[in-house]
């Protein structure tokens, strides 16, 4: 090994012919290759040196590829692992991905796909040449574990493959990824989400992001993509619930010219658009069963057939999905395919609702207000007072972060200063206000105001005093239905008087149609005085 390649690979297989085939294929790509025929032999190689990736067969004489994955995990190794499984053994493939494998291949191995998967694991484009760096010194075989590697430029993929012990102490602190920092919050739940994102980004395993609406599932999916080696490739986000059923196949897999009426040219689908990158399927639980079976084949075989095409096309896509539903329950109810569920749910990340991490309200509020101020060109950035934060902490936020953002947008628009206080927030359950031409008064104050404060000629919008029989003597009516009918009858009469008993105009002033106005007048017996003006009403209706 006088002139080893920059990327070194360990191939583990008990069949000599297959080891030779893999070795020759990878040597042509410029990699340095070492081989092993068993789990124990592979461990001896790994104890001697650090590799960029490990390619292992599932069945070995003294164990399985899962045993080798467990060894890599327990030893804290950073090598990417690619597992080769028997054809059609989906269970083994899912098990390997759950155990931490970057990707898997099925026998018989397609060599073109084999080269592409290895290149993807190492962060290389499939058509690029190996990254031979002049003057760089690789790790010598037999060096004691833990010795630092000689300093040399490293790509991101190579840096991820190197164990922590090989990094000099001066560069041991790795800055937080911008993608991870966009997920605001320092609660234990959000720290766990960020840790999961950082971990799963290193593999090709499908990830299911589960959480209520408005929790930020797409933000988590984008972070996984941006932290991964596919960050420079496309990220295609698809809202499955927004696509009509009859267009799903064409949108996902594309179509060929003449496949159906209106197909005037070839068009790629979402899978082709995301080739080499990440495809994010939001609200995956909304897909109909017919489309689920077609999606299953594309996910399992990594092949898509455009509508109107004869041949299938290979695609290299990292699949992420999200849902607010309990897919396990949907499977039991027969609304979601069990096999597709197992394929998508290899790794699950649960995004906590906002009510479970209220300590993050301040941090999220700062981020949202900064964005609002930046978009609106405001200076300085508005801030939430302590009283406002305390008030928000008592709200359950059924709409989660999305609801919080909407509340802040409204508060910024209505507040007159740089500080947002309790009065600027309009949380559900807060006392509503009724607005007249001269003042704003809370609705409960209107109901409790003395009759002397509300003259008979009060402006429209303020209730007139009720009759002695209808007004509650001790603050509560003895008959709520009669009490409310009296209020409604009084409002109808005032509107009719104001508009000279023109029911169309009176109804419009109250937000009612003519039909609704007639129904309410008939139910409450508000007819006297209207008859002389019917002709005028008919002329205006």
pLDDT in tens, 176-193: 567 777 888 888 889 889
The residues, ordered by sequence, that sit 6+ positions from 146 with a Cβ below 8 Å of its Cβ are 165, 166
Q: Whole-angstrom Cα distance, residue 155 to residue 176? A: 18
Cβ–Cβ under 8 Å, residues 394 and 425: no
Higher pLDDT, 347 or 541: 347
As for how many domains the chain has, the answer is 4
In a domain, 78, yes or no: yes
- Give the lowest-confidence range in 4-13, 111-120, 394-403: 4-13
pTM for the structure as a whole: 0.57
Domain check: are 132 and 190 in the same one?
no
**Residue 378 belongs to domain with CATH number:** 1.10.8.60
Is residue 259 over pLDDT 80?
Answer: yes
pLDDT for position 444: 41
- Give the lowest-confidence range in 86-95, 181-190, 332-341, 361-370: 86-95
Cβ–Cβ under 8 Å, residues 109 and 26: no
Domain check: are 336 and 207 in the same one?
yes
Domain check: are 203 and 125 in the same one?
no
Q: pLDDT confidence of 132, banded at 50, 70, 90? A: very low
Higher pLDDT, 258 or 415: 258
Give per-residue pLDDT as tens, 433-469.
443 433 333 444 334 334 333 344 444 443 444 444 4
Is residue 146 over pLDDT 70?
Answer: no
pLDDT for position 431: 53
- Give the lowest-confidence range in 54-58, 85-89, 201-205, 325-329: 85-89
**Domain extent at residue 387:** 357-424
pLDDT for position 88: 54
pLDDT for position 174: 34
| Residue finishing a domain among 352, 379, 402 | 352
**Residue 334 belongs to domain with CATH number:** 3.40.50.300
Q: Whole-angstrom Cα distance, residue 455 to residue 449? A: 11
Cβ–Cβ under 8 Å, residues 46 and 18: no
Q: Whole-angstrom Cα distance, residue 252 to residue 237? A: 11
Q: Whole-angstrom Cα distance, residue 32 to residue 302? A: 28
Q: Whole-angstrom Cα distance, residue 308 to residue 460? A: 65
pLDDT for position 529: 54
pLDDT for position 430: 59
| Residue finishing a domain among 117, 149, 170 | 170
Domain check: are 221 and 258 in the same one?
yes
Cβ–Cβ under 8 Å, residues 102 and 202: yes
Domain check: are 184 and 153 in the same one?
no
Domain check: are 309 and 248 in the same one?
yes
Q: What is the CA radius of gyration of the chain?
A: 34
Give per-residue pLDDT as tens, 473-515.
456 777 777 888 888 888 888 888 888 888 888 888 888 877 7
- What would the mean pLDDT of 127-152 be, rounded to a whole number? 35
In a domain, 175, yes or no: no
Angle between helix 65-74 and 90-98 (nearest 10) = 10
pLDDT for position 99: 81
**Residue 30 belongs to domain with CATH number:** 3.40.50.2300
Domain check: are 186 and 40 in the same one?
no
Higher pLDDT, 195 or 177: 195
Q: pLDDT confidence of 97, banded at 50, 70, 90? A: confident
Domain check: are 37 and 107 in the same one?
yes
Strands (E), 26-77: 32-36, 53-57, 59-60, 63-64
Q: Whole-angstrom Cα distance, residue 279 to residue 320? A: 6
Domain check: are 291 and 395 in the same one?
no
In three-state secondary structure terms, 462 is coil
Higher pLDDT, 473 or 338: 338
The residues, ordered by sequence, that sit 6+ positions from 47 with a Cβ below 8 Å of its Cβ are 145
**Residue 511 belongs to domain with CATH number:** 1.10.10
Domain check: are 70 and 162 in the same one?
yes
Q: What is the mean pLDDT of the chain?
A: 77
Q: What's the length of the chain?
A: 541
Give per-residue pLDDT as tens, 54-91.
999 988 998 888 899 889 888 888 888 999 887 556 67
pLDDT for position 460: 41
pLDDT for position 86: 74
Domain check: are 217 and 280 in the same one?
yes
In a domain, 452, yes or no: no
- Give the lowest-confidence range in 38-52, 178-192, 336-350, 387-401: 178-192
Q: How far is CA 469 from CA 106, 229, 483, 522, 539, in A?
A: 85, 77, 9, 22, 38
Q: Whole-angstrom Cα distance, residue 305 to residue 307? A: 6
Cis peptide before 159 (omega within 30 of 0): no
- Give the lowest-confidence range in 162-176, 244-258, 325-339: 162-176
SS (H, E, C) 489-504: HHHHHHHHHHCCCCHH
Sheet holding 347-350, edge to edge: 235-239, 278-282, 318-323, 207-210, 347-350
- What would the mean pLDDT of 389-395 be, rounded to a whole number? 88
Q: pLDDT confidence of 144, banded at 50, 70, 90? A: very low
In a domain, 431, yes or no: no
In a domain, 444, yes or no: no
pLDDT for position 474: 52
In a domain, 293, yes or no: yes
Domain check: are 193 and 337 in the same one?
yes
In a domain, 14, yes or no: yes
Q: pLDDT confidence of 322, banded at 50, 70, 90? A: very high
């Amino acid at each position: 090994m006088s002139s080893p390649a920059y990327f070194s690979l360990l191939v583990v297989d008990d069949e000599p012919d297959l080891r030779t085939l893999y070795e020759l294929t990878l040597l042509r790509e410029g990699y340095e290759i070492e081989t092993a025929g068993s789990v124990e032999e592979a461990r001896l190689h790994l104890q001697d040196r650090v590799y960029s990736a490990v390619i292992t067969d599932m069945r070995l004489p003294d164990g399985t590829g899962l045993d080798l994955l467990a060894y890599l995990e327990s030893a804290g190794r950073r090598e990417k692992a690619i597992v080769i499984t028997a054809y059609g053994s989906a269970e083994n493939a899912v098990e390997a991905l759950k155990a931490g494998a970057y990707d898997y291949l099925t026998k018989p191995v397609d060599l073109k796909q084999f080269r592409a998967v290895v290149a993807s694991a190492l962060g290389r484009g499939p058509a690029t040449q190996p990254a031979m760096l002049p003057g760089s010194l690789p790790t010598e075989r037999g060096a004691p574990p833990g010795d630092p590697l000689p300093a040399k430029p490293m790509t991101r993929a190579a840096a991820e493959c190197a164990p922590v012990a090989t990094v000099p102490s001066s560069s041991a602190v790795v800055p937080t990824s911008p993608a991870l920092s966009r997920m605001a919050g320092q609660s234990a739940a959000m720290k766990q989400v960020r840790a999961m994102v950082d971990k799963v980004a290193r593999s090709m395993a499908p990830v299911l992001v589960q959480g209520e609406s408005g929790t930020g599932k797409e933000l988590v999916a984008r972070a996984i993509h941006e932290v991964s080696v596919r960050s420079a490739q496309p990220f295609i986000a698809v809202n499955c619930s927004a696509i009509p059923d009859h267009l799903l196949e064409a949108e996902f897999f594309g179509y060929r010219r003449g496949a159906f009426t209106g197909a005037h040219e070839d068009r790629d689908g979402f899978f082709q658009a995301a080739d080499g990158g990440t495809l994010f399927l939001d609200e995956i639980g909304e897909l109909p069963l017919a489309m689920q079976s077609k999606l299953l084949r594309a996910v399992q075989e990594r092949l898509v057939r455009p509508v109107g095409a004869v041949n299938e096309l290979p695609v290299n896509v990292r699949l992420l999905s999200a849902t607010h539903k309990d897919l396990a329950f949907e499977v039991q109810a027969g609304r979601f395919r069990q096999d597709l569920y197992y394929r998508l749910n290899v790794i699950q990340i649960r995004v906590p609702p906002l009510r479970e991490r209220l300590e993050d309200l301040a941090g999220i509020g700062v981020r949202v207000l900064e964005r609002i101020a930046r978009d609106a060109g405001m200076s300085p950035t508005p801030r939430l007072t302590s009283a406002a934060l305390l008030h928000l902490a008592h709200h359950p936020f059924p709409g989660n972060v999305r609801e919080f953002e909407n509340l802040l947008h409204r508060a910024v628009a209505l507040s007159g200063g740089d500080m947002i206080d309790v009065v600027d927030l309009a949380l559900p359950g807060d006392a509503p206000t009724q607005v007249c031409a001269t003042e704003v008064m809370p609705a409960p104050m209107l109901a409790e105001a003395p009759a002397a404060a509300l003259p008979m000629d009060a402006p429209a919008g303020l209730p007139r005093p009720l009759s002695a029989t209808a007004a509650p003597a001790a603050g509560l009516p003895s008959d709520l239905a009669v009490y409310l009918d009296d209020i409604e009858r009084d409002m109808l009469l005032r509107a009719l008087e104001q508009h000279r008993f023109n029911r169309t105009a009176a109804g419009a002033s109250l937000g009612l149609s003519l039909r609704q106005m007639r129904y309410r007048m008939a139910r409450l017996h508000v007819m006297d005085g209207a008859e002389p003006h019917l002709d005028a009403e008919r002329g205006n209706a």
